[in-house]
């Protein structure tokens, strides 16, 4: 896997919106943080455009994304917000220049699509808080982004969850992100090869039966076979339907994986949303009190 060049003070970074519309006030704090790191935010022409639910028309959002991918002066791309919309433009993107000169793509949720698509090029990306989330994110979440982008080491010690299905020391390439998006891209050009890898999943606002359905669909597509391990992030507002499903989210998860499963990673739609380098080799080391996750 190719690691995009790390950043240096003075580098220009793009601010764009490929999904849900965003107001300028929602990202002011994040822009201040980036500037405090010595970076120079360059706001896309349509970053704050509006077209119903979306941040501008498909043509506008695609134009901003393509321009920043191709601009050699832009060293990383920060997405303002997730929600929905990136899937509408992905097939119009020309990746030729990006493949030759990779740069960091920073986001999560709807941006899982880009993590998966770019993973197939053999290029690492950064699953992390998007700009509108800086106002409610923990300092550790924001600091983890800086550590990755400026080339510092990254690792986490996660308290052991009693529901874990622990294994031995494990190494593998990290893939994944938002479960709903992984489910949505199955069978498409953006779909990922998961065999022999470590899968990370998180989600928000789903019914238990739909969570079960997504995992079964991925299993039927061969995506859950031969995994080294599964890291489970925050599952927020996973709820019962009118007729109770009568299984917890954790029980459903354990039912569908036959590899080590580690719950409780601080990632996803929660304030403590730590950065993950998608495409990096990860070493998982369980001990008596923590699960150590180190990026190699």
| C-alpha span between 106 and 124 (Å, rounded) | 11
User: Exactly one of 202, 206, 210, 280 is catalytic; which is it?
Assistant: 202
3-state SS class at 213 = helix
- Crossing angle of helices 249-256 and 208-220, in 10° steps, is 10
Give φ, ψ of 51 to 5 degrees: -145, 85
| C-alpha span between 19 and 28 (Å, rounded) | 18
202 counts as catalytic: yes
User: Exactly one of 190, 206, 269, 280 is catalytic; which is it?
Assistant: 269
Give φ, ψ of 55 to 5 degrees: -85, 70
DSSP codes of every residue in 82-109: -SS-GGGTGGG---HHHHHS--EEEE-G
195 counts as catalytic: no
Question: Which has the closest alpha carbon to 66: 102, 99, 94, 29?
Answer: 94
| C-alpha span between 235 and 9 (Å, rounded) | 36
Q: What is the β-pairing status of strands 170-178 and 281-286?
A: antiparallel
- For the beta carbon of residue 54, count every other beta carbon within 10 angstroms: 21
User: Exactly one of 109, 144, 180, 280 is catalytic; which is it?
Assistant: 109
188 counts as catalytic: no
What six digits make up the tokens of 123?
A: 């290029």
Q: Which residues are catalytic?
A: 109, 202, 269
């Amino acid at each position: 896997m190719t690691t995009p060049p790390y950043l240096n003070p003075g580098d220009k970074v793009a601010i764009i919106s490929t999904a849900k519309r965003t107001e300028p006030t929602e990202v002011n704090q994040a822009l201040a943080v980036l500037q405090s790191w010595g970076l120079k935010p360059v706001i896309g022409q349509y970053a704050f455009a509006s077209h119903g639910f979306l941040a501008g028309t498909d043509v506008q959002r695609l134009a901003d994304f393509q321009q920043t991918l191709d601009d050699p002066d832009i060293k990383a791309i920060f997405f303002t917000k997730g929600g929905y919309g990136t899937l509408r433009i992905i097939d119009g993107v020309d990746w030729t220049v990006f493949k030759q000169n990779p740069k960091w793509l920073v986001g999560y949720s709807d941006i899982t699509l880009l993590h998966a698509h770019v993973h197939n090029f053999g290029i690492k990306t950064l699953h992390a808080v998007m700009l509108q989330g800086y106002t409610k994110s923990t300092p550790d979440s924001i600091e983890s982004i800086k550590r990755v982008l400026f080339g510092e080491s990254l690792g986490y010690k996660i308290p052991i969850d009693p529901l874990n299905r622990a294994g031995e020391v494990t190494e593998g390439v990290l893939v994944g992100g938002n479960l709903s998006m992984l489910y949505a891209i199955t069978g498409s050009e953006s779909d990922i090869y998961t065999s022999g890898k470590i899968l990370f999943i998180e989600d928000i606002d789903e019914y238990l039966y739909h969570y079960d359905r997504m995992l079964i669909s991925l299993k039927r597509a061969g995506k859950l076979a031969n995994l080294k391990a599964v890291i489970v992030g925050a599952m927020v507002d996973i709820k019962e339907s009118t007729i109770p499903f009568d299984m917890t989210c954790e029980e459903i998860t354990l039912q569908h994986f036959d590899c080590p499963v580690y719950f409780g990673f601080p990632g996803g739609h929660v304030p403590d949303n730590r950065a993950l380098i998608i495409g990096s080799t990860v070493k998982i080391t369980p001990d008596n009190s923590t699960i150590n996750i180190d990026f190699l």
